[in-house]
């Protein structure tokens, strides 16, 4: 019976594009590709943040302009979705989500990881793997549950029987579908983009894939924006007072 419930989730965790790189640790396989590329993405974000903020000036210039622009954008996004009273608390969380997804998507759209030969498997963007997108979606779920319980205590769960008690199953199901929709939307779009580019590169290897790659850069940014916007909306909904 246990295997009946575990196997479907194990099958979903194997969904990927191409032949990825794994580490064998005892009897388990760790997604080495995801870990390596996640560290790479975090390294890029850290370097940009360090260079942009290591020598702050009252009149920003150079990379400081870029980091302040990104910060203001994330602050505005959080304020719009969460509200003026609580948004500052959630700027770091939404900013981390947005930057990690954006840089991950762009790393897959712009860098030719398939050209790097490994003994087995290949490298790809972290968001190319369903495990990454599910993890980000689950973090979002934990965040909005935490936000609601911190503000309202156990009274937060009254929302499941509002506006009527018979809506309890639907409201509970909604909380299960939120992380599913977040994770599969992001993964599906990155999957589709890489498949299209891969097919076009194989068929017409010179000029045709370039506009598709540029379109992939644009859609990658949109996906990062959509994910962080929905995360902010869910947190704002959890903090909202229901009367």
Token pair listed for 148: 């609601």
Strand partners, 30: 23
Which residues face 29 on adjacent strands? 24
Three-class secondary structure of residue 55 per DSSP: coil
For residues 45, 227, 72, 106, the Cα torsion angle rounded to the nearest 10 degrees is 40
For residue 5, the model assigns a pLDDT of 42
Identify whether the C-beta of residue 227 lies closer than 8 Å to the C-beta of residue 102. Answer: no
Q: What is the pLDDT of residue 59?
A: 79
Residue 229, pLDDT score? 93
223: nearest Cα among 154, 113, 120, 137: 137
Q: Which residues contact 113 (CB under 8 A, 6 or more apart)?
A: 37, 107, 122, 123, 124, 125
The first and second tokens of residue 186, run together, are 């992001």
Q: Is 142 exposed, middle or buried (0-12, 13-18, 19+ CB in 10 A)?
A: exposed
Return the half-sphere exposure (C-beta side, CA atoms, 13 A cut-off) of residue 19: 6
Residues of the chain with pLDDT under 70: 1-21, 112-121, 197-209, 241-243
Tell me, what's the pLDDT at 62? Answer: 80
pLDDT (0 to 100) of residue 160? 77
User: What pLDDT shows up at residue 8?
Assistant: 47
Q: How far is CA 151 from the centre of its chain?
A: 25
pLDDT of residue 99: 94
pLDDT tens-digit map of 148-184: 888 888 887 887 777 777 778 887 888 888 888 888 8
């Amino acid at each position: 019976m246990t295997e009946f419930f575990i196997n479907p989730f194990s099958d979903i965790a194997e969904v990927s594009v191409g032949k990825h790189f794994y580490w064998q640790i005892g009897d388990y396989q760790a997604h080495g590709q995801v870990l390596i590329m996640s560290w790479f993405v975090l390294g890029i974000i850290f370097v940009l943040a360090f260079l942009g903020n290591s020598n702050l000036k009252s009149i920003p210039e150079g990379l400081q302009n870029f980091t302040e622009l990104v910060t203001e954008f994330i602050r505005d996004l959080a304020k719009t979705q969460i509200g003026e009273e609580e948004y500052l608390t959630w700027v770091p969380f939404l900013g981390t989500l947005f930057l990690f997804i954006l840089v991950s998507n762009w790393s897959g759209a712009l860098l030719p990881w398939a050209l790097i030969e490994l003994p087995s498997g290949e490298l790809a963007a972290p968001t190319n793997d369903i495990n990454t997108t599910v993890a980000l979606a689950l973090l979002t779920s934990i965040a909005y549950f935490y936000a609601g319980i911190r503000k309202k205590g156990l009274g937060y769960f009254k929302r499941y029987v509002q506006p009527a008690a018979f809506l309890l199953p639907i409201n509970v199901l909604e909380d299960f579908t939120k992380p599913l929709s977040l994770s599969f939307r992001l993964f599906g779009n990155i999957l589709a983009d890489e498949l299209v580019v891969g097919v076009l590169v194989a068929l017409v290897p010179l000029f045709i894939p370039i506009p598709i790659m540029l379109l992939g850069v644009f859609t990658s940014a949109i996906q990062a924006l959509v994910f962080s916007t929905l995360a902010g909306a869910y947190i704002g909904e959890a903090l909202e007072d229901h009367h």
